Amino acid sequence: MGNAGQYAFRALVTEDRQIWAFYARGGVVEGVVQGTVTYSPSGFSGNGFDYNLPLVARTGVTISGTARERQSMEGAVRLPSSTITFSGSYDSSYDSPPADATGTWQVRAASASGTVTTTVTVGSDGSVSATTPYCSGTGTLTVRSSGKGVYNLAVTFDGASCEFDGQTLGGVVVVRNTGSGQEMVAAALLPDRSTGFFAIGTR
């Protein structure tokens, strides 16, 4: 967790070197940077895409920086016309199994077609279901083999007016315990990484 200019950001770097970095302003998620990084003694670097929701745009980016193991990270995301720097501190909950997600969540989700607020239900078997005025979604949350504090997410949508009708998206979910309850952060992309959705839930 940390800051990136005018944005608050939360970055997840998984054991298979995938990075998912949410950025938000005023408590509203405005986009996600997703890509792959490699490590060296001098730091990390990689490439991916910036999915900017207000601009409805996917832009290729390069990512680089330095990290102190289980302490902090700082670096930069370079777009064709600008560079965004970021810094943040380590969240030790990543080294523990993910917090229990079973139950009902109030979720605000965003994609290229807009933002919607809905209720998401997670079953004790990891099943996921949600319904909006435009579509319904069903899927699964699966604990990763590494046992780290992140779930794999797969969800399929249905609905004639649904942006992702008949398509399955894959991504990640992180559940955090907060002082007043729990927070869920989720991101998922189509297999070709052309677009996806991003969400924050509370309970």
pTM for the whole structure: 0.88
**Same structural domain, 8 and 85:** yes
User: Is 91 exposed, middle or buried (CB count within 10 Å of its CB: 0-12, 13-18, 19+)?
Assistant: middle
140-185 confidence digits (pLDDT tens): 999 999 999 999 999 999 999 999 999 999 999 999 888 889 999 9
- Residue 2, pLDDT score: 54
Where residue 177 sits, what CATH number does that domain have?
2.40.128.20
Both 61 and 107 in one domain: the answer is no
For residues 117 and 30, state if they share a domain.
no
Same-domain check for residues 60 and 134? no
Find the domain containing 85 and state its range. Answer: 2-90
Identity of the residue numbered 142? T
pLDDT digits (tens, 9 = 90+) for 86-100: 888 988 889 999 999
Q: Is the pLDDT of residue 26 over 80?
A: no
| The pLDDT of residue 4 | 62
- In this prediction, residues 34-60 reach a mean pLDDT of 90
One domain for residues 81 and 100: no
Percent of the chain having pLDDT more than 70? 97
The confidence band for 106, taking pLDDT boundaries of 50, 70 and 90, is very high
- Count of domains observed in the chain: 2
Does residue 43 sit in the same domain as residue 7?
Answer: yes
- Looking at the fold, whether 108 and 179 belong to one and the same domain comes out as yes
The mean pLDDT value of the chain amounts to: 90
Give the C-alpha separation, 2 to 74, whole Å: 9
Residue 5 confidence (pLDDT) above 70 = no
Residue 133 and residue 76 share a domain = no
In this structure, the answer to whether residues 123 and 81 fall within a common structural domain is: no
Domain shared by 103 and 160, yes or no: yes
Q: What are the tokens at 80? A: 């064709």
* 102 and 198 co-located in one domain: yes
Domain final residue pick, 90, 111, 134: 90
Query: Which positions ≥6 away from 171 have C-beta within 8 Å?
Result: 20, 152, 153, 186, 187, 188, 189, 196
